[in-house]
Amino acid sequence: MSEKDSFVKFENVDKSYDGESLVVKGLNLDIPQGEFLTMLGPSGSGKTTTLMMLAGFETPTSGEIYLEGEPISSIPPYKRGIGMVFQNYALFPHMTVNENLAFPLEVRKLEKSEVEEKVHKALSMVELQDFGTRMPLQLSGGQQQRVALARALVFEPRLVLMDEPLGALDKKLREQMQYEIKHIHENIGITVVYVTHDQSEALTMSNRIAVFNDGKIQQISTPDVLYEKPDNSFVAQFIGENNQIKGTVKSMNGKNCVVKTENGDEIVSLKINVNSVGETSLLSLRPERVWVNVDEKNYENNFEAKVEELIYLGDHVRTRVKVCGNDQFIVKIPNSSDQSDLKEGAKVKLSWKADDTRALDFKA
């Protein structure tokens, strides 16, 4: 692998706080220069610990982290030259916005004129030129967030880390900031490692997403691959909405397999994470890939279903049906005039393709 492809490299990194359990288990990860990589996972999955090890606030229990080919475990955080945006911004409350931004530059003993110029440039980047003399607490949450971002970038670090930086903002502001951060990343081409537990945030912003669970990376890939082709049931469940059907593998045939559900229905699906006949598998199927009352010829899987519940959501109707013994099965029906006669209790025919059905592992 070339130098550029592993700008940041985690090599067999383990981390334990208490000597009894591992928070991060044998982590291997390569981050190319200029990439926006998101670590996504539920709380306690090890993503923040991984970020803190990279920032230098935690030391790996074993293994090594490389930055531009150099091991950094023994370098203290203040010599790493890595920018970081903290969860609650961590703006220094006793300094003005300008002083906050000048702090990393003054520490580096830059000329006064140079400091002023860079501070101004950074504030312009986040469109807060006129707020330099304010104190952080006089700013709104979104403005504080931008100042924190500007401060992490003002000293032109090699790498910038973000630890759930948008967690404290309301939904609308959060979405707006997602685009802003994404654009800043595109404009200056800096490498970003971003931690979040919000999957839509991860999908919006990232080049690649590493899904963490239980101290391990479950799958690392681009957003579309993660959504369309999850490798295991955790990823399928964690990212996007997902119908799960439990069954037993009845037969395998090339890339496909047939899974028999508990009430005897046989579903043709892609063989992804099952190895042998007789194994228990969890089928994963996205709600928008299921069709109602269509021509059966084009689909491998066709089943009778009963409509249990209709939830009107404007652009689509979220429909809960009972099919293959599963009454939590969700179908998204686009809002068009010909579907409007669907009633609760009605019998419908559901169809979906084998290529959209993924036979994944089942963890009891």
Partner 1 sequence: MSSETLSGPILTSDGIPLKVSLRKAEKRNKIRAFLLVLPLLAFILITFIIPIGDMLARSVDDRYINTVFPKTFEIYKKWDKQDLPPEEVYETMFFEINAAKGFKIGKASTRMNYSKSGWKSLIKKSQRKFKKIKEGPYKEQMIAIDKRWGDPLYWKALGEMVDPTTMGYYLNSVDLKYDSNKEIIAQPENRRIYNHTWIKTFKVSLLVTLFTLMLGYPIAYLLATLPLKYSNLLMICVLLPFWTSLLVRTVAWMIILQQNGVFNNLMVIAGLIADENRWKLMYNETGTIIVMTQILLPFMVLPLYSVMKTISPSYMKAALNLGASPLHAFWKVYMPNSLPGVSAGGLLVFIIAIGYFITPELVGGKDGQMIGNWIAYHLKTTLNWGLCAALGSVLLFVMLVFYWVYNKIIGVENIKLG
Among 103, 173, 237, 289, binds partner 1 (CB under 8 A): 103
Q: Does 53 bind partner 1 (CB under 8 A)?
A: no
Give the shortest CB-94-to-partner 1 separation in angstroms.
Answer: 5
DSSP letters spanning 226-281: HHHS-SSHHHHHHSS--EEEEEEEEEEETTEEEEEETTS-EEEEEESS--STT-EE
Describe the chain by its helix, strand, coil percentages, rounded to 5. 30, 35, 35
Residue 239: alpha-carbon gap to chain centroid: 8
Residue 112 contacts partner 1 per CB under 8 A: no
State which of positions 151-210 bind partner 1 (CB under 8 A): 151, 155
Q: Which of 21, 43, 70, 94 binds partner 1 (CB under 8 A)?
A: 94
Tell me: does residue 84 bind partner 1 (CB under 8 A): yes
Report in angstroms how near the CB of residue 57 gets to partner 1 at its nearest. 6
- When asked if residue 81 is in the footprint of partner 1 (CB under 8 A), the reply is yes
Looking only at residues 303 through 342 of this chain, which bind partner 1 when binding is defined by CB under 8 A? Answer: none
107 lines the binding site for partner 1 (CB under 8 A): yes
Reading the block at residue 180, the tokens are 């802003």
Residue with tokens 């691959």: 225
- Token reading at 70: 């150099």
Minimum CB distance to partner 1, residue 159 (Å):
11
Is the CB of 86 or the CB of 291 nearer to partner 1? 86
Total residues in contact with partner 1, by rule CB under 8 A:
25
Single out the residue of 189, 87, 76, 202 nearest to residue 148, CA to CA: 87
Closest CA to 245 of 235, 259, 256: 259
Assess contact for 203 and 227: CB atoms under 8 A.
yes
d(CA 155, CA 346): 63
Of 43, 70, 74, 76, the one binding partner 1 by CB under 8 A: 76
78 binds partner 1 (CB under 8 A): yes
Q: Is 77 in the site for partner 1 (CB under 8 A)?
A: yes
| CB distance 225 to 238 below 8 Å | no
Q: Which is nearer to partner 1, 84 or 354 (CB)?
A: 84
What residues make contact with partner 1 under the rule CB under 8 A? Answer: 55-57, 76-79, 81-84, 86-88, 90-94, 103-104, 107-108, 151, 155
